Amino acid sequence: MINIGLIGFGYWGPNLARNFSANPDLDLSYICDFSSDRLRAASAIYKETRFVNDPEELFKDPSLDAVGIATPVSTHFDLARRALESGKNVWLEKPMTEKVDQGEELIELAEKKRKVLHVDHTFVYTGAVRKIKEIMDKGELGEPIYYDSTRVNLGLFQQDVDVIWDLAPHDISIMDYLMPFKKVAVSATGSNFYGNGIVPKALLTVYMENNIVGHINVSWVSPVKIRLTLIGGTSKMILYDDNQPSEKIKIYDKGVDLYETKEALYHLKVQYRVGDMWAPKLSDHEALSYETKHFVECLESGRTPLTDGKAGLEVVKILVASQKSLHGRGAPIELG
Amino acid sequence: MINIGLIGFGYWGPNLARNFSANPDLDLSYICDFSSDRLRAASAIYKETRFVNDPEELFKDPSLDAVGIATPVSTHFDLARRALESGKNVWLEKPMTEKVDQGEELIELAEKKRKVLHVDHTFVYTGAVRKIKEIMDKGELGEPIYYDSTRVNLGLFQQDVDVIWDLAPHDISIMDYLMPFKKVAVSATGSNFYGNGIVPKALLTVYMENNIVGHINVSWVSPVKIRLTLIGGTSKMILYDDNQPSEKIKIYDKGVDLYETKEALYHLKVQYRVGDMWAPKLSDHEALSYETKHFVECLESGRTPLTDGKAGLEVVKILVASQKSLHGRGAPIELG
Amino acid sequence: MINIGLIGFGYWGPNLARNFSANPDLDLSYICDFSSDRLRAASAIYKETRFVNDPEELFKDPSLDAVGIATPVSTHFDLARRALESGKNVWLEKPMTEKVDQGEELIELAEKKRKVLHVDHTFVYTGAVRKIKEIMDKGELGEPIYYDSTRVNLGLFQQDVDVIWDLAPHDISIMDYLMPFKKVAVSATGSNFYGNGIVPKALLTVYMENNIVGHINVSWVSPVKIRLTLIGGTSKMILYDDNQPSEKIKIYDKGVDLYETKEALYHLKVQYRVGDMWAPKLSDHEALSYETKHFVECLESGRTPLTDGKAGLEVVKILVASQKSLHGRGAPIELG
Amino acid sequence: MINIGLIGFGYWGPNLARNFSANPDLDLSYICDFSSDRLRAASAIYKETRFVNDPEELFKDPSLDAVGIATPVSTHFDLARRALESGKNVWLEKPMTEKVDQGEELIELAEKKRKVLHVDHTFVYTGAVRKIKEIMDKGELGEPIYYDSTRVNLGLFQQDVDVIWDLAPHDISIMDYLMPFKKVAVSATGSNFYGNGIVPKALLTVYMENNIVGHINVSWVSPVKIRLTLIGGTSKMILYDDNQPSEKIKIYDKGVDLYETKEALYHLKVQYRVGDMWAPKLSDHEALSYETKHFVECLESGRTPLTDGKAGLEVVKILVASQKSLHGRGAPIELG
Give pLDDT tens digits for C98-121. 999 999 999 999 999 999 999 999
Compute the 3-state secondary structure of chain C and give helix, strand, coil in percent, each to the nearest 5: 35, 30, 35
The more confident residue out of B282 and D194 is B282
At B27 the pLDDT is 97
In this model, does residue D258 exceed pLDDT 90? Answer: no
Predicted confidence at residue D260, as pLDDT, reads 65
Cβ contacts from C onto D, under 8 A: 183
User: How high is the pLDDT of residue C240?
Assistant: 98
B209 close to C (CB below 8 A): no
C106 CB-side CA count, 13 A:
31
- The whole-angstrom distance between C335's CA and the closest CA on chain D is 13
Query: Judged by CB atoms within 8 Å, which residues 92-131 of A form the interface with D?
Result: none
Quote the pLDDT of residue C263: 56
Please check whether residue B335 touches A, CB under 8 A: no
Sequential DSSP letters for B43-88: HTT-SS-EEES-THHHHT-TT--EEEE-S-HHHHHHHHHHHHHTT-
Give the closest-approach CA distance of D132 to chain A in angstroms.
Answer: 14
Q: What's the pLDDT at B173?
A: 98
Q: What pLDDT, on a 0 to 100 scale, did the predictor assign at position A266?
A: 52
Q: B-C interface: how many C-beta pairs under 8 angstroms? A: 26
Residue among D160, D187, D252 minimizing CB distance to C187: D187
pLDDT at B12 over 70: yes
Q: Name the band, by pLDDT with cuts 50, 70 and 90, for residue D262.
A: low
Put simply, the answer to whether B191 touches A200 (Cβ < 8 Å) is no
Task: Reduce the DSSP state of residue A84 to 3 states and report it.
Answer: helix
Read off the pLDDT band of C196 (50, 70, 90): confident
Indicate if the pLDDT at residue B200 is higher than 60: yes
> pLDDT by residue (tens digit) across C127-173?
999 999 999 999 999 999 999 999 999 976 677 789 999 999 999 99
- Residue A268 confidence (pLDDT): 59
In this prediction, residues C264-280 reach a mean pLDDT of: 78
Q: How far is CA C235 from CA C252, C257, C274, D230, D271, in A?
A: 9, 9, 10, 31, 46
The size of chain C, in residues, is 336
Pick the more confident residue, B119 or B155: B119
pLDDT value at residue C273: 84
Contacts of D203 in chain C (CB under 8 A): 203, 205, 215, 217
Q: Which of D159, D192, D267 sits opposite C267 (nearest CB)?
A: D159
- Express each pLDDT in A76-118 by its tens digit: 999 999 999 999 999 999 999 999 999 999 999 999 999 999 9
Please report residues of B whose CB lies closer than 8 A to that of D243.
Answer: 245
What pLDDT shows up at residue C261?
Answer: 61
Of B134-143, D148-157, D258-267, the poorest mean pLDDT is in D258-267
CB contacts under 8 A, D 165-204 vs C, are: 185, 187, 189-196, 200-201, 203
Strands (DSSP E) contained in C198-236 are 201-208, 213-219, 221-233
Q: Is B332 an interface residue toward C (CB < 8 Å)?
A: no
**Cβ distance of C189 and D237 shorter than 8 Å:** no
pLDDT of residue D143: 95
The residue of B162, B189, B218 whose CB has the most chain A CBs within 10 angstroms, and thus the best one to mutate to test that interface, is B189
Instruction: Decide if B246 contacts B229 (C-beta within 8 A).
Output: no
Determine the Cα–Cα distance for residues B5 and B33; give it in Å rounded to an integer.
11
Given a cut of 70, whether residue D88 has pLDDT beyond it is: yes
Which pLDDT score, from 0 to 100, does residue C89 have?
98
Distance CA A10, CA A44 (A): 15
> Among residues D151, D183, D148, D184, which one has the least CA distance to residue D168?
D151
The alpha-carbon radius of gyration of chain D (Å, integer) is: 21
Give the confidence band of D33 by pLDDT, cuts at 50, 70, 90. very high
Interface partners of chain C (CB pairs < 8 Å, 3 or more) are A, B, D
Find the residue in C nearest to B247 (Cα).
C277
Residues whose CB is less than 8 angstroms from the CB of residue C267 and which lie 6 or more positions away in sequence, other chains included: D159, D160, D196
pLDDT at D284: 85
C-alpha–C-alpha distance, residues C169 and C154, integer Å: 18
User: Mean pLDDT for chain D?
Assistant: 94
Least confident of C32-36, C125-129, C160-164, C259-263: C259-263
Q: Is the pLDDT of residue B260 over 70?
A: no
Backbone angles phi, psi at B127, to 5 degrees: -60, -35
* D302: helix, strand or coil: coil
Question: Nearest Cβ partner of C239 from D190, D219, D224?
Answer: D224
- Residue percentage of chain D with pLDDT more than 90: 87
**Ranges A159-163, A168-172, B327-331, D109-113: which has the least confidence:** A159-163
Measured between CB atoms, which of D148, D230, D330 is closest to C330? D330
- Asked if the model's pLDDT at residue A160 lies above 90, the reply is no
Supply the mean pLDDT for chain A: 94
Query: How high is the pLDDT of residue B269?
Result: 67
Whether this model's ipTM surpasses 0.85 comes out as: yes
Residue of C nearest to B253 (CA): C281
Please compute the mean of the pLDDT values over residues B209-235 and round it to a whole number.
96
Q: Is the omega angle on the peptide bond into residue D245 within 30 degrees of 0, that is, cis?
A: no
In this predicted structure, what is the pLDDT of residue B212? 97
With contacts defined as CB-CB under 8 Å, which chain D residues touch C219? 148
pLDDT in tens, B269-311: 677 888 999 999 999 889 999 999 999 999 999 899 999 999 9
Query: Which of B187-196, D20-29, D101-110 has the lowest average pLDDT?
Result: B187-196
Can you give the pLDDT at residue B195? 77
Q: Is D4 in a helix, a strand, or coil?
A: strand
Q: Rounded distance, CA A163 to CA A157, Å? A: 8
pLDDT value of residue D267: 56
- When comparing pLDDT for D284 and C29, which is higher? C29
**Mean local confidence (pLDDT), B26-39:** 95
β pairing state of A50-52 and A26-32 = parallel
The whole-number pLDDT of residue B268 equals 58
Residue B92: is its pLDDT beyond 70? yes
pLDDT at D292: 98
Give the contacts of D112 (CB within 8 A, at least 6 positions apart).
none
For the segment D9-18, the average pLDDT, to the nearest whole number, is: 96
pLDDT over threshold 60, residue D263: no
Give A305-319 pLDDT, tens digit per residue. 999 999 999 999 999
Mark C282-314 as b/e (b = at least 16 C-beta within 10 Å).
beeebbbebbbbbbbebbeeeeebbbbbebbbb
